[in-house]
């Protein structure tokens, strides 16, 4: 049984696979100071809900963009699961990286490209609505060929609130109209429609540079918010990164 771990800037997601199927997944807020023992307590309780235990896990694949957590995550795997985890990097991810500085690419971006290629073909564009909004591209040859990074939706909301003393902190939702009838309404409209325009224009520009249309896959926590108003998005896949972890594991067997 495979344990896939996706450590992002905001949350870490743990998923257990039986074959190609995700049995269950659990989310934990990312903390640089969390110990191996704390990971063990969290995951043992989560596994118990599925009547599973550490003894049934025989492989661990980790995608981490927070290096400060890697030591304790690795120690947790070795101490409690008795498995040496595989941390994803440019050398073991299983996709050709056709950019100037491969070492600069986050493991999450590479994993998303692997999953997109395997499940949706090439060329493809992954839009990942996370702490940042990432656009990652697989070209017609099946290579990871770069991307676009933009501030995430929540970062933009937080920046508005912190930079202007009279602006409240708002939750993100689709507003009833473009023209705001209150400050909160106006802020939500700016964020929602601004991001809608951002993702549409960037996606269009990517396809123009590729010289052809591409499958567009949305993933990440806020992907579902935009899907109805963005017909250029072909697929909504909240498990894309986890699927990428399985693809890497499959390629290593």
Which residue's structure tokens are 């073909």?
A: 121
Cα–Cα distance for residue pair 70/190, rounded to 1 Å: 37
> What are the tokens at 62?
């980790």
- At residue 79, the 3 state secondary structure works out as helix
- Strand arrangement, sheet containing 132-138: 144-151, 132-138, 124-129, 215-220, 235-236
- At residue 209, the 3 state secondary structure works out as helix
- Contact call for residues 8 and 27 (beta carbons, < 8 A): no
For residue 35, the Cα-to-chain-centroid distance in whole angstroms is 23
Catalytic residue among 6, 108, 128, 143: 108
| Alpha-carbon distance values, 33 to 45, 54, 56, 226 (Å) | 20, 23, 27, 34
108 carries an active-site annotation: yes
| Alpha-carbon distance values, 90 to 59, 137, 177, 200, 217 (Å) | 20, 15, 44, 29, 22
* Most distant CA atoms of the chain, gap in Å: 58
Catalogue the active-site residues.
108
């Amino acid at each position: 049984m495979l344990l896939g771990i996706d450590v992002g800037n905001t949350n870490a997601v743990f998923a257990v696979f039986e074959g190609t199927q995700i049995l269950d997944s659990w989310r934990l807020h990312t903390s640089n100071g969390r110990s191996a023992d704390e990971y063990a307590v969290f995951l043992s309780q989560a596994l118990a809900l599925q009547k599973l235990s550490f003894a049934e896990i025989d492989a661990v694949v980790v995608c981490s963009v927070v290096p400060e957590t890697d030591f304790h995550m690795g120690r947790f795997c070795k101490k409690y699961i008795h498995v040496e985890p595989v941390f994803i990097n440019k050398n073991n991810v299983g996709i050709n990286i056709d950019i100037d500085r491969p070492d600069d690419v986050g493991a999450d971006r590479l994993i998303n490209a692997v999953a997109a290629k395997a499940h949706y073909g090439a060329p493809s564009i992954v839009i990942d609505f996370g702490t940042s909004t990432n656009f990652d591209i697989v070209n017609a040859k099946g290579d990871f060929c770069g991307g676009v990074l933009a501030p995430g939706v929540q970062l933009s909301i937080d920046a508005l609130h912190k930079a202007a003393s009279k602006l409240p902190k708002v939750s993100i939702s689709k507003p009833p109209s473009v023209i705001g009838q209150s400050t909160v309404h106006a802020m939500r409209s700016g964020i929602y429609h601004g991001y809608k325009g951002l993702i549409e224009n960037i996606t269009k520009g990517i396809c123009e540079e590729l010289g052809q249309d591409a499958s567009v896959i949305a993933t990440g926590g806020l992907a579902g918010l935009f899907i109805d108003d963005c017909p250029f998005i072909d697929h909504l896949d909240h498990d894309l990164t986890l699927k990428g972890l399985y693809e890497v594991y499959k390629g290593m067997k």
